[in-house]
Chains A and B, each alone.
Chain A
Amino acid sequence: MNIMIVGVGGQGTLLASRILGAAALRAGKQVKLSEVHGMSQRGGSVVTYVKYGDRVDSPVIEPGEADMIIAFEELEAYRSLPYLKKDGVLIVNTQKTNPMPVITGAMEYPENILDKLTAKGIRVVACDALRLAKEAGNIKAVNVALIGVMAKNSPLSKEIWDGALVDAVPAKFLEVNQKAFSLGYNHQ
């Protein structure tokens, strides 16, 4: 199972990948995660790879290999498209953050990204995770709300996910994140 998490540096993609990793471990699988630290975290495009299965060698997912992509931002969802398998699922947070070339006016933010994705026959699950996070009580819980949406579409049981949250989320923030997860899980 190959899962990619894509977003903008600072959106909390690292915690999301830790929850995925914890879930795969609970499912008794071999798991590898590959993340990016450092410069690109400063508001640049960030990508995390999570791979699990009976044997995992390379920690990196290559174009056409992702079973699922969780995109924290629409443009990043669009950018990640070549990585998605033909029958893969693309979970998209309906949030738009302008990159610098758009801010400076050098380029335009592509219009109607979700429609373009759907027109390609891709299974798109769109979700306003910011709203769910606000409802859960902390706008920083966008990441865990999206994990909730993803969990619903994954082959792993709810029980495994509940345990993974306890494993990966600091105790202080567990309750609000459990709420955000549950809102994501029951979304649609």
Chain B
Amino acid sequence: MKKLMLGNEAVARGAYEAGVSVASSYPGTPSTEITEFIAKYDEIYSEWAPNEKVAVEVASGAAIAGGRALSAMKHVGVNVAADPLFTMSYIGVNGGLVLCVADDPGMHSSQNEQDSRNYAIAAKVPMLEPADSSECRDFVKKAYEISEEFDTPVLLRLTTRVAHSQSEVELYEREEHPAKEYKKDAAKHVMVPANARPKHVLVEQRMDALSKYNDTSDLNRVEMNDTKIGIITAGIAYQYAREAFPNASFLKLGMINPLPENLIRDFAAKVKTLYVIEELDPVLERQIKAMGITAHGKDLLPLIGEYSAALLREKILGEKPEAGFTVDETIPVRPPVMCPGCSHRGVFYVLNKLKLTVSGDIGCYSLGSAKPLDSIDSIICMGASISALHGMEKAQGREFAKKSVGVLGDSTFLHSGITGLIDMVYNKGTSTVIILDNSITGMTGHQENPATGFTIKGEPTRQVDLEKLCHAVGIDKVTIADPFCVEDFEKVLREHLEAEEPTVIIAQRPCALLKKAGYTGCCEITDACKNCKMCMKLGCPAISMTSSGPVIDETLCNGCGLCVNICKFGAIVKK
């Protein structure tokens, strides 16, 4: 039976068919749906972990214990999980271990454009890269075979256009792989220097063996056609190149680390001009050139952003695309915005009003950096809001700390914000942190987390009490406040900023897209409006300015009532 599937869904299907028994991940676009789809299979134990490092460690433990295990993450998630990854390369596996990594060329939903293929080289583990959904399914199954045959974790690299494209996938039955026997084996599993040294030797031998395996692996495909142009490529870049050069010869790589040297030499010898086509870093090109092979690559093609068939035709053949219709005026862009009813809006309204320095973090609330809320000063990575805030205080002093805050979501706080908070307490910081507790992991599309009280399967579980947790690490002043009671929230915030100690405000209100937010109806602006434009400072997409004053779009408004709370003239009412 064939089914149209997202690349991510096909990865989940592959895991199911390969007999995977444990999956642990932290959500991150464009990888999230892999684990969401896995959670639909009752045969696989699945979970959301607090962060990628924990997730990969859970999967590692499962693999050491003999089960087939998987973890999925976005590219920056590998940075968090790099520690277990590099040592699992030495330890190897018992049951197969596959780590799925989704890169985001073009940064559709990411803070950087790093190329995770560099990790495969650095950690000395094999990496496979599918080019469509069908290959996603196939390559996951193959990855488990390689993992167990070569005693190694295997990385599966996706990019946004593979992860979030749908194409046909043939469905097969699940092959059961019950957990293998677990035996205590310190030389293999205990990575102290005496054991790790001989392991490193094995890792290097394994890479040589994998390179030879790759020379004849059916993961790669040679398509000989006109030999004037030969193209070595992999993943989504193959699709763009195939569309741009339908008559060229192709070496389409499926396993991109370690490279199949003999296969590449053989292909290169058969074509007149060789091109290496890959998005982002010249990972393949550098290695191919190091083999002494002449090829074009980044001399013609960009290091930045996504490719397309048109881009390849233009850069390689010099063919400009035919001019289509043009828009003859500058039209307004439509950047993403906080939703109507967003629980974060009240917080950022106050932060903007007080003109504080705001150390931001990763999540929907990064949208608080956009006009008119325009309040965030810096965003680095998951959890950095608190630690960077602490660093700011140490560089600028106490008076600066009185005018600055860190903001991060509940899920991000548990991911890696908590360690920053411990640092601040331990090292006598006095800054104020606001945890935006909207009861869900929002930006990635509503995943449960340890603070929501539910598992990935929606089962009730023990809930982390954020207030008690903050107390436990040494924060005495913790206040729970409703960000929509704007006046009270501002008062609480001023008190916290003045306190000569590290403090936390838990801004509690559910995400507007959750049923439990309970918003109904919509708001309306009455004749009492004095056109003071205060409501425009909220940056609510439902409120627009017209020549006769502000109006509320009833198709967008969900009746959250924040604007009712901030109107000084009582001119906005709930309908």
Interface residues of A (CB under 8 A from B): 8-10, 18, 21-22, 25, 30-45, 56-60, 62-64, 75-76, 78-79, 81-86, 95, 97-110, 116, 120, 122, 130, 139
Contact = CB atoms under 8 A, between A and B. Distances in A.
A58 B108 contact: no
A43 B337 CA distance: 5
Contacts of A110: 329, 331-332
Interface in B132-163: 132, 161
B332 A38 contact: no
Contact of B371 (A31, A63, A106): A106
Contact of B334 (A30, A31, A45, A64): A45
A50 B109 CA distance: 21
Contact of A98 (B243, B321, B367, B541): B541
Contacts of B80: none
7 nearest A-B pairs in the assembled complex, by CB-CB distance:
A38-B109, A38-B29, A44-B336, A64-B324, A99-B334, A59-B165, A57-B243
A38 B335 contact: no
A82 B326 contact: yes
A39 B310 contact: no
A78 B327 contact: yes
Contact of A82 (B327, B536, B553, B556): B327
Nearest to B131: A57
B543 interface: yes
Interface in B425-479: 443-445
Given A60-B308, A64-B321, A64-B322, A76 B164 contact: no
A103 B541 contact: yes
Interface of B: 2, 4, 29-30, 32-33, 108-109, 132, 161, 164-168, 236, 239-240, 242-243, 308-310, 321-339, 364, 367, 370-372, 443-445, 536, 539, 541, 543-545, 553, 555-556
Contact of B539 (A31, A57, A59, A103): A103
Contacts of B236: 59
A100 B540 CA distance: 8
B541 A43 contact: yes
B372 A21 contact: no
A106 B333 CA distance: 11
Given A9-B336, A101-B332, 5 more contacts: A34-B164, A59-B161, A62-B309, A62-B321, A79-B334
Nearest to A113: B331
A47 B310 CA distance: 18
Contacts of A44: 334-337
A129 B323 CA distance: 31
Contacts of B444: 38
A42 B338 contact: yes
A148 B553 CA distance: 26
- For B322, B324, B325, B539, the residue with the greatest tally of chain A CB atoms inside 10 Å of its CB is B325
A56 to B, nearest CB: 8
B167 A32 contact: yes
Given A37-B109, A42-B337, A100-B370, A58 B327 contact: no
B239 A40 contact: no
A102 B332 CA distance: 7
Contact of B336 (A39, A60, A130): A39
Contact of B108 (A40, A43, A98, A139): A40
Contacts of B536: 103-105
Contacts of B329: 110
A39 B443 contact: yes
11 contacts: A8-B334, A22-B4, A32-B166, A37-B445, A40-B336, A59-B165, A59-B239, A64-B323, A75-B332, A97-B541, A110-B329
Nearest to A122: B325
B324 A86 contact: yes
B113 to A, nearest CB: 14
Contacts of A64: 321-324
- For A64, A109, A116, the residue with the greatest tally of chain B CB atoms inside 10 Å of its CB is A64
B333 A39 contact: no
B338 to A, nearest CB: 7
A166 to B, nearest CB: 14
B164 A37 contact: yes
B324 A84 contact: yes
A122 B326 CA distance: 12
Contact of A42 (B132, B243, B339): B339
A109 B165 contact: no
A31 B30 CA distance: 21
A138 to B, nearest CB: 13
Contacts of A38: 29-30, 108-109, 443-445
- For A33, A59, A85, A95, the residue with the greatest tally of chain B CB atoms inside 10 Å of its CB is A59
A132 to B, nearest CB: 14
Nearest to A102: B332
Contact of A99 (B164, B335, B367): B335
- For A9, A99, A103, the residue with the greatest tally of chain B CB atoms inside 10 Å of its CB is A103
Contacts of B332: 75, 99, 101-102, 106-110
B514 to A, nearest CB: 14
A36 B321 contact: no
Contacts of B326: 81-82
Contacts of A10: 339
- For B161, B370, B443, the residue with the greatest tally of chain A CB atoms inside 10 Å of its CB is B161
Contacts of B310: 62-63
B4 A21 contact: yes
B242 A57 contact: yes
Given A37-B164, A42-B337, A58 B308 contact: yes
Nearest to B162: A59
A98 B335 CA distance: 11
